[in-house]
Amino acid sequence: MPTASGCGEPVRVWQVLAAAALCAPQAALADLTVEEAWGVWTAQFEALGLDWEADAVPEGDALAVGPIFLSMQVPGLPLEMNLQLPGPRFVSDAGEIVVHLPTAETMPFSISATEDAASAFTSAGAFAWRMTDVSVRMRETDAGIETGWSGDSFEIEMTEYGLLGKPFPAGYRYLQSGFDITQTSRIGDGWLDFTRRGVAGQVVIDYGFGDETTAQGLGGTLSRDEVETLTELRLPRGGPALDRLPELAEAGMMLRHEAAAKTGFDEDYEWSAGEQIASSETRWSNITGIFTLTGDGLHVVSGSDTAAMQITDEVLGISVDVEAARILLDLAMPVLRAVEPQQYALRVELDGLTLSEETWTAFFMTEELPRQTADLKVDLGGTAILLETLFDLAALGQSFNGPLPVSIETLDLRALEARFWDAELTGKGAVRFDHVAPRTVDGVPATEGDATFELTGAQALLDRLTEAGVLTTDDAMSARMMMGMFTTPVEGDGDAVRAEVEIMPDGQVTVNGQRMR
C-alpha cells in the first residue's frame, strides 16, 4: 500500500467513512475494518490541526503503521512543531480491532521558527513512550466508533532537550496508573464529534526547566488520585483556524472537559543561580473542574472541599501557611470579537480561610489574639465589548503596545460578603461606563452608578484588636473616625453602619448624600 498522508490527498479517509456510514444497512452494524480503525486516528489528527504522514502496510487481517510524523503550525505564531510517534498495529479480532501499541525510548520532536519569522528560534529533543499491560480495542457502535483503553500504567518522559542548538536542562514526565478509558468518535458532515470518559487511580506530572548551571529555573510535581474525566469535542474536519474562529464557533465548534479527583498534591519551586528562592506546596481534597469553550464563550469552574498551602519566598522574606475549608472559582467570559456587548461573570468563594498558628502570630505580631477563620464571597458580572478575538495571538500581540482589547461597558457587584471574627461586610452595586462621553477623571471613562455597603461588628473587632495589642488606642480611634466620615449608623443595630455611594455622570461622587468629589 502506498504511503498515506494528511497533506492534501484528493480523497480523505473521513469521506470514505462518511459515505460508508450513509450506505450501510441500519438493521445491523458492520464489522470494523483495520483501515477504518486507522482512519479514526488520522481523522483525530486532522481535526486537531495536525498534518500527518505514515506508511500503512496490509499484513493479512492486520494493518501495520510505520512511524507517524506529525507537524503543526503554532496558531498565531511563526513557529512549527514536529513530532514523531511509534506506529501502531491494527489486528482484526471477532468483529473488533485490537491495537498493539509499541513502546519507544526515542520519539524526536522539534519547535522551530518558520521562514518568515523575525528570529531563528529552535528547540528539539526526544520523548520516551512506555506502558505496562495496556489493552486497546476498537469496535463499531450506534454512537460511533468506540475505542477502549485500559492498563496498569502509561508514561511519557522527555529524555532529551536542546535550546538554540545546545543541550539545556529540562524535564517532563506524565504517568497515568490504573486507567480505564472509553472514547467514541463520530465522523460526518465535515465534523468530528468526540467523547472520552476515563478513570485513573493516579495521574502524576513532573516538570522542570533549568538547574544550578542556569541563571534561573523552576520545577514541580502535580499529582491527582482517583481521577475521573469527561471530554467532549466537536471540531471541524480540517482543524480549527484562527481566522475562521467566529464562523466555526457559530457552526457549533465546542470543547468541554470535566475532571474530578479525590485528592491532589501540587509542589512548585524556583531557583536562581543554583539557590532555591521560592517554594510552595498545596494539598487538595475532592477537586472538581469544568472547562467549556463554545461560541458563547469560555466557562471555567474550579473548586475543592479543602486546601492547605505553604508558601516560602526567600527573596521577599515571607513564609505563609494557609488553609481553606472550601474554594470555588466560577468564570464566564466572551472569546470572540463582536461589536455588541457580551456577558461576563466572575464568582469567587473562600470558606473557612485560616492561617497556621505560626503564620497567624507572625502576621499579627502577638500571641494574645486567638486564631480565627474568615469567609469571602465575591459575585460580579456585566457586559463588555471584545475588540479582538482572544485566540487571535497576532492581533493580541499588537494590542500590547496600545489600548486593551476589551471595553468594559457595565459592572454589577451582585454580592460581596466578607466575614472575620464578629465583623461582617456586605455590599452590592452597579456602574455603567460611557466610553464616548468626555472623561471626568484622567484614564477613566465617564462613570455612572451606585453601591451600598454594610459593616457590622466593626466596633467589637477594633476592641479585640486593641486589647490584644495589635492596634494602639490611637489606631483604633483613627479607624473609628474614618468610619464616621463615610458611614451612617443602621437603625436598630448598635454595631452596624452603612455607606451608600453614588457616582454621577459629571464625575461627582457622594457617600450617604455627602459630596466627596
In a domain, 257, yes or no: yes
Residue 136's pLDDT band, with cuts at 50, 70 and 90, is very high
| Residue for grid cell 506524565 | 174
Lowest mean pLDDT among 16-20, 40-44, 156-160, 218-222: 16-20
Segments of 133-215 assigned E as strands: 135-141, 144-163, 166-167, 170-188, 191-209
Q: How many Cα neighbours within 13 Å face the side chain of 149?
A: 17
What is d(CA 84, CA 106) in angstroms, rounded to the nearest whole number? 9
**H-only helix segments in 195-318:** 245-251
**pLDDT confidence of residue 30:** 67
In a domain, 146, yes or no: yes
33 φ/ψ angles, rounded to the nearest 5 degrees? -95, 165
Question: Is the per-residue pLDDT at 243 higher than 80?
Answer: no
**pLDDT confidence of residue 12:** 37
Lowest mean pLDDT among 128-137, 238-247, 300-309, 481-490: 238-247
C-alpha cell at position 166: 545546545
Q: What integer best gives the mean pLDDT of the chain? A: 87
With the C-alpha atoms ordered 167, 170, 171, 172, is the resulting torsion angle positive or negative? Answer: negative
**pLDDT confidence of residue 212:** 73
**pLDDT confidence of residue 246:** 83
Q: How many residues comprise the chain? A: 517
**H-only helix segments in 326-384:** 357-364
In a domain, 375, yes or no: yes
**pLDDT confidence of residue 8:** 37
Residue numbers of the domain that contains 153: 118-444+460-472
Burial per residue of 296-323, b for 16 or more beta-carbon CB atoms within 10 angstroms, e otherwise: ebbbebebbebbeebbbeeeeeeebbbb
Question: Is the per-residue pLDDT at 158 higher than 50?
Answer: yes
DSSP 3-state of 465: helix
**pLDDT confidence of residue 22:** 35
In a domain, 281, yes or no: yes
Question: Is the per-residue pLDDT at 493 higher than 80?
Answer: no
| Residue pLDDT, tens place only, 291-337 | 999 988 999 999 999 999 999 988 888 889 999 999 999 999 998 88
Most confident range (mean pLDDT) of 16-30, 337-351, 395-409 is 337-351
Amino acid at 53: E
Tell me if 220 sits within 8 A of 259, measured CB to CB. no
**pLDDT confidence of residue 26:** 37
**pLDDT confidence of residue 74:** 80
Question: Is the per-residue pLDDT at 6 higher than 80?
Answer: no
In a domain, 245, yes or no: yes
Question: Cα 289 from chain centroid?
Answer: 9
Lowest mean pLDDT among 134-143, 180-189, 388-397, 443-452: 388-397
Contacts of 200 (CB under 8 A, 6+ apart): 176, 177, 178, 179, 180, 227
| Residue pLDDT, tens place only, 349-367 | 999 999 888 888 888 777 7
Burial of 115 (0-12, 13-18, 19+ CB in 10 A): exposed
When pLDDT is averaged across residues 483-497 and rounded to a whole number, the result is 84
**pLDDT confidence of residue 116:** 66
In a domain, 80, yes or no: no
% pLDDT > 70, the chain = 90
What is d(CA 264, CA 288) in angstroms, rounded to the nearest whole number? 11
What is d(CA 305, CA 282) in angstroms, rounded to the nearest whole number? 13
What is d(CA 178, CA 161) in angstroms, rounded to the nearest whole number? 29
Q: Which of 301, 387, 380, 403 is nearest to 342 (CA)?
A: 387
Q: Could you tell me which residues are beta bridge partners of residue 122?
A: 112
360 φ/ψ angles, rounded to the nearest 5 degrees? -60, -45
Q: Which of 153, 239, 237 is nearest to 201 (CA)?
A: 153
What is d(CA 17, CA 20) in angstroms, rounded to the nearest whole number? 5
**pLDDT confidence of residue 15:** 39
Question: Is the per-residue pLDDT at 23 higher than 70?
Answer: no
The domain tally of the chain equals 1
DSSP class of residue 244? G
In a domain, 171, yes or no: yes
When pLDDT is averaged across residues 259-270 and rounded to a whole number, the result is 96
CB count within 10 Å of CB 190 equals: 12
Lowest mean pLDDT among 201-210, 238-247, 316-325, 412-421: 238-247
Question: Is the per-residue pLDDT at 21 higher than 60?
Answer: no
In a domain, 214, yes or no: yes
Amino acid at 121: F
When pLDDT is averaged across residues 491-496 and rounded to a whole number, the result is 80
